[in-house]
Amino acid sequence: MNPDLSRLLPYPFERLAALKAAVTPPSGLEHIDLSIGEPKHPPPPFVLEVLQRERAGFGNYPTTAGTSELRAACGRWLERRFGLPEGAVRESMVLPVNGTREALFAFAQAVVDRGGKPRKTNTDQGAAGTPIVAMPNPFYQIYEGAAFLAGAEPLYLDTRAEDGFLPDLDAVPAADWERCQLLYLCSPGNPAGAVMGIAFLRRVLALAERHDFLIAADECYADIYPDDSRPPPSLLSAAHATGNDTFKRCVVFHSLSKRSSLPGLRSGFVAGDPQVLERFLRYRTYHGCSMPLPIQRASLAAWDDDAHAAANRALYREKFAKVLPILAPHTQVSAPDGGFYLWPAIGRDDADFVRDLYAAKHVTVLPGSYLARDGGAGNPAAGRVRIPLVAPVDRCIEAAERIADFLQGR
């Protein structure tokens, strides 16, 4: 067996199940599960109609690169959504994937060189030692697992309230950046919902240029935000603004799971540096992860339509508007800059809070510390819980009322 498998740690939801295992919740209250960020809004009917109409395509093998039409639709969406010039995203810069989860994981396997960075000159000694894959902390657990299975060492960049829940780039020693081969970013962030602005992204780009590493930007929450006048930017926006119109060292990951409430479709795409994607396509050709044709055609329809995404945003805005006034008097919580999570500080051990809330109110949320690793200053997510507002609005309101009662000792 691959020895790196032993490095994988229990997934947060495994730990959550163990935490709740010995607890008997009140039978008179229906369970409200707000632990998993699985959208519960109805899927767009027109997407389901395309799936039904194109079902004969399940009888054909698809190509790994996807259809030209789908790649073009993804490029058009990137240009519309992020204000890029028409034609800025060419088909060679787009690769359809079966949801961002598998692509984020596979990407590290394809791009990390276990032997370290090559020498730049005859006198350069290269970046000796185990390669580094850097990531925000807390983080989507796929980043860490991808690093382990690529034979790399994870570098955890703590994100705390005093820094706006953004990584402190200046705290990383230059020697670590030199060993870094891949940096995972997430904007809007999971779990805090922090958005990386153009200025921050330009700093990241400068670091990548100086130390020669790739950037994998997980932007799957980019179409969920509270203010139409301030949509979150993309890493590609920042790259283009610096004159990097080939998106060198940049790859972004997008999905229909959150944007279009289609988590079961398992459809997304990666876009960016065409030289990197050419190699990633070769990896994926052997990996055997092509997208079925009916799903490609349904995905094309979804990426070409912005109205349903706007309606989706409106539903999340309604939930934040109704839930925050219930919780804010009792805990430190605020609306995120993007995404659909609340990230309140609850003033006590987060795992104990989650267990006791489940026992008293039959509501499940996720301990924040389960999403992070201990660093030099402790676990940066300790004392917080993650609450995704994915359920229908009435269920979110009821959950918030139960949590508020629990916080008041009722």
Cβ neighbour number for residue 260 with a 10 Å cutoff: 25
Query: pLDDT value at position 377?
Result: 84
Best CA proximity match to 62, nearest among 292, 285, 280? 292
CA 194 vs CA 75, 95, 165, 279, 402: distances in Å? 25, 27, 6, 31, 26
Task: Give me the CATH topology for the region 46-305.
Answer: Aspartate Aminotransferase; domain 2 (3.40.640)
Query: pLDDT value at position 409?
Result: 86
In contact, 155 and 133? CB cutoff 8 Å: yes
Domain(s) labelled CATH 3.90.1150.10 in the chain stretch across 3-42+308-407
**Helix (H) or strand (E) run with residue 32 in it:** strand 32-33
Distance between CA atoms of 338 and 321, rounded to whole angstroms? 14
CB within 8 Å of 96: residues ≥ 6 apart: 65, 66, 70, 71, 74, 267, 268, 269, 291, 296, 299
Q: Which CATH class is domain 3-42+308-407?
A: alpha beta
Number of residues that this document lists for the chain: 410
Query: pLDDT value at position 122?
Result: 44
Query: pLDDT value at position 124?
Result: 47
Domain(s) labelled CATH 3.40.640.10 in the chain stretch across 46-305
Residues of the chain with pLDDT under 70: 118-128, 410
Best CA proximity match to 207, nearest among 243, 245, 261, 170? 170
